[in-house]
Amino acid sequence: MLTKQLFSLLKTNPILHPTVVRQITVSNGTITMDLTGFPWWLPSGDANSKDTMSATIEFTSVSRANLTGHCLNRDVFCEDLDTFEIFQLDQVSWNKGNISSVFCSEPVRDPISVFAALEGFLMESGCPFDCSEFFNCGETINGFVDLTKSASFEIAKGPSAICDVVSEALAQQGVRHTTTRSENRFATGYMIQWWDGYFICESANFSYHNDTH
């Protein structure tokens, strides 16, 4: 069995079709995908000499996951890995910087514009999370608006890139606020986006039998 780091493999060997996800297993913080199909992971000469092969991708130390029905159930009209992408989390724009917190020292006059500023940034940067992940009381607009009527409160917490967007939106309104920064990261490792789902893991390894004869 030969094992390669998935992120590095996909830089030199892009996924080719047909590739079928035969099974997905979730157990103890590990997601395992069993594949079969055209062996795009081999050198081109070896791949072209084969009809089909099997392989396994193992994602370990999965901290967050949203595997939707589209991920778990095959669509006969779509290639299984057609939208599969893997990103290094230290390279995605929304995850830049260590965990920060933004504190307001007075009510926010126009909280909806602050909410909209972050919402727009998350969409543009391809972040899988919505505003409720970073705004205090952000599960509902009403809850967020009620919070921002307070005299002093923590409005947001997340990567520095997230908090910088919130800070800029507050500054445009002249709201007195401060930002504190920690030494910890919000998320490390890799982010996989697949159809309308995603998951975050520390490592992603691709394994297959090294038999090209």
Average pLDDT over residues 46-57: 84
Domain boundaries, the chain: 2-87+191-208, 98-181
In this structure, which topology does domain 98-181 adopt according to CATH? Ribosomal Protein L30; Chain: A, (3.30.1390)
pLDDT bracket for residue 211 (50, 70, 90): low
* Six token digits for residue 103: 């504190």
Hey, which residues does 194 pair with through a beta bridge? 197
Residue range 102-161, pLDDT digits in tens: 999 999 999 999 999 999 999 999 999 999 999 999 899 999 999 999 999 999 999 999
Amino acid 35: pLDDT: 96
Describe the chain by its helix, strand, coil percentages, rounded to 5.
30, 35, 40
Find out whether 114 and 131 touch, Cβ atoms under 8 Å: no
Could you tell me which of 130, 132, 141, 136 has the C-alpha nearest to residue 104?
136
Cα-based distances in Å from 63 to 14, 29, 90, 156, 187: 26, 7, 16, 21, 9
What's the DSSP call for residue 135?
B
pTM: 0.86
199 pLDDT above the threshold of 80: yes
E strand residue ranges, the chain: 2-5, 19-27, 30-37, 53-60, 64-66, 85-88, 99-104, 153-159, 177-181, 190-194, 197-201, 203-208
Could you tell me which of 38, 33, 44, 47 has the C-alpha nearest to residue 17?
38
